[in-house]
Amino acid sequence: MKQQLEELERRRAASLQLGGPERVARQRKEGKYTARERIDLLFDAGTFAEIGQLATYIHTRVTKIKGKVAPADGVITGFGQVDGRRAAVISEDFTVMGGSLGLINLAKKNRMIDICTRDMVPLIWLFDGAGARTDEFIGQGMAPMYHFMSLARMSGVTPQVCAVMGPTAGDSSLLAAMMEFIVMTKGRGMLAAGGPPLVLLGTGQTVNKEELGGSDVHCRISGVADNEAETEEQAIDMLKRYLSYMPTNTYEYPPSLPPTDDPQRRDEELLHILPQNLKRPYDMQRIIDIVLDKDSFFEIKPAYAQMVITGLGRLNGHPVGVIANQPKVYAGAITAASGAKHRHFMDICSAYHLPIIFLTDTPGVMTGPASEREGALRAGMTLAHSFAFADTPIFTVVIHKGFGYGAAAMGGGGAGHSVLLAWPTADFNAIPLESGILAAYGAEIRAAPDPDAFRKKLEDEFRQLCGAFPAAEIMSIDEVIDPRETRPRLIEALERSIKRRSKSAQPTIRHGVMP
């Protein structure tokens, strides 16, 4: 036994050397932590239990290098605790063959997916790896779909999150794109189906990693990634913060905390956010920050499709999702990009039993040739599917514009609300009033002795029918409220609605979360 234990310690010590001092130094020169240092940042001290530490490179019939050693085969896997809660990690090691995918590397990843799906433990990926190793996969036939199907089946069961911390390509980039929450480090993280050399060979284009698939590309333009981090520490902090709002799995409810903010807080500032001229924009972010528990809002996709704001927060200590129009951008209209952003976030909230707060100020679905070519209509209509399968408390506050399908997509009537409130400034219509009058009375206006005066007269008459008070009179909304009442009224409805959660009837899986 003594000899075997000594051999075990020798092998463990060798694994901890990663790719060797030279490659570790190169990693640090790039401003990156090693795979094991990242795990130390992620998990509570002393809680990491590794799986597959002694795994190594597999020799195949085409392997040219005999006796090659690849500690842990380029990926560190195991379990630990994040702020006292169990989680799993897959951390790619760029110092070992560029973190590339080998047969044992793949087996370790699949093993973690299997365990996390079975034991319903959140899975955290720290990506810093290239595509498949040619020597190990030559002659393997078509790429296996099982790898990706396993992750798809896991979605909506337990959270899957990742940080992209290096030049991630091939298999790793595909896996990263499947995650439910994706952080990229600025200037170092890259996501691409193939790296710059492959692009040059395939297309003749010369691009660097940042131009090809850096955080600016994917956090602002494509929307593949969610949040951009300045440093690796910040990236890991973002993953931890996201998970703090989530249940461990779909068979639990999100973790509530003891409230630290006054539930009856009424802020005078809410009376002054909207401009006197309601055609001018304002910043919806200010309303969100005031209404939620102080400093609790964590925005998701802040740089992408900014006409809609999505994020996680707390209300009286309870985790909630927030979906809000941003009047500063396209007046809060729904575009193809914002529709996709809205749909994905709503599906996450529904899958993990997070109540959703809608703050509405939208003129509807964006129109115009560019919008139609982007497919805004279809992107907007995917939201109907999200509402159809959502079974989580919904709360809507209409701040100003609530027009047409845009209002419906922002938690309009019939969406299964726990409460539907409106500020006195709310305005309801099928389309903006001025446009509707021109469409319906265009001929009469043109024939009038004074077209401008006649048009204004019609607008004044119809405006009396379109505001918050007429809507309340016919029960299209539950109540018109003083803006200062927004937080107390939402908390009352939230506390009422979550009382339906019963210990005798645990939550169950509802649906997966498509990328």
124 closest CA partner among 85, 94, 153? 85
pLDDT of residue 310: 98
* DSSP label at residue 410: T
A 10 A CB-CB count for 229 gives: 23
300 closest CA partner among 191, 187, 214, 223? 223
pLDDT of residue 152: 92
A 10 A CB-CB count for 400 gives: 24
Strands annotated E in 128-237: 160-164, 167-169, 181-185, 190-192, 227-229
Identify the three-state secondary structure at position 81.
strand
Q: Answer whether 273's CB lies under 8 Å from 149's CB.
A: no
Report d(CA 294, CA 316) in Å as an integer: 10
pLDDT of residue 430: 57
Strand partners for 85: 82
pLDDT along the chain (515 residues), means of 10: 89 89 91 93 95 80 63 93 97 89 88 95 94 68 73 94 93 93 95 83 84 92 96 97 97 94 96 92 97 98 97 98 97 93 96 96 87 84 86 94 88 86 88 67 77 73 74 89 98 92 73 84
Q: Phi and psi dihedrals of 244, rounded to 5?
A: -65, -20
pLDDT of residue 356: 97
pTM of the model: 0.91
Strand partners for 467: 427
Report d(CA 224, CA 340) in Å as an integer: 11
Q: Which domains, from first to last, does the chain contain?
A: 2-244 (3.90.226.10), 268-426+467-499 (3.90.226.10), 431-466 (no CATH)
pLDDT of residue 145: 74
Report d(CA 152, CA 211) in Å as an integer: 29
Report d(CA 23, CA 98) in Å as an integer: 10
pLDDT of residue 448: 78
pLDDT of residue 505: 66
pLDDT of residue 511: 82
